[in-house]
Chain A
Amino acid sequence: ETGVTQTPRHLVMGMTNKKSLKCEQHLGHNAMYWYKQSAKKPLELMFVYSLEERVENNSVPSRFSPECPNSSHLFLHLHTLQPEDSALYLCASSLRWSYQETQYFGPGTRLLVL
């Protein structure tokens, strides 16, 4: 166990649904990340939060909306998704937002958009 949990582990949603992914870390870290892995593609960094402030947003469509209410929790709100958004969504945390900090990953949420 890495100390980072994600719920749900699997999610099927229609294009008109609204759902949220949840990530929680019990490591006392101050930085949290959302990654997306589509089939046969590398992990792509979506969002970075440091001390609950968003510091990176990598041109992610607005149908993905992150929220970081405190340093232990990170959400990804999903609405009007497209089938091509089907992917594995991974959350990670690190002690600080720094290029040399080790990131600790959760197990991911496997999302299928119909």
Chain B
Amino acid sequence: ILNVEQSPQSLHVQEGDSTNFTCSFPSSNFYALHWYRWETAKSPEALFVMTLNGDEKKKGRISATLNTKEGYSYLYIKGSQPEDSATYLCASNTGNQFYFGTGTSLTVIP
């Protein structure tokens, strides 16, 4: 079993603030890193798939970076909005297995 860790476990930010959180994973046998956004009572929604060291991906106000050598990825949200409130999951893929973190729960206060 691969340990994928996410921090913080939860956070509350004011509307308009920018925020970021971390996904840590073992750097050996790494194939890809996936980020998902999961709103309560809905399906997890894919945000990014990253494979290369130094990868940076962006989708609107959300962006992510990847460091495969040290085994971490950051997810950034610029100018948080209440609709960004969700749990953000990362998953590391080792080729034929997906290992998920327990997520970071984000609450954006209007």
Q: Which A residues are within 8 Å of any B CB, using their own CB? A: 2, 4, 40-45, 48, 55-56, 58, 90, 99-108
Contact = CB atoms under 8 A, between A and B. Distances in A.
26 contacts: A40-B102, A42-B100, A42-B101, A42-B102, A42-B103, A44-B100, A55-B96, A58-B97, A90-B44, A99-B31, A99-B32, A99-B93, A99-B94, A99-B96, A100-B31, A100-B32, A100-B49, A101-B49, A102-B46, A102-B49, A103-B46, A104-B46, A105-B36, A106-B43, A107-B43, A108-B43
A44 B44 CA distance: 14
Given A4-B43, A102-B49, 19 more contacts: A41-B102, A42-B4, A42-B99, A42-B100, A43-B100, A44-B100, A58-B97, A99-B51, A99-B94, A100-B32, A100-B51, A102-B34, A103-B34, A103-B98, A104-B46, A105-B36, A105-B43, A105-B44, A108-B43
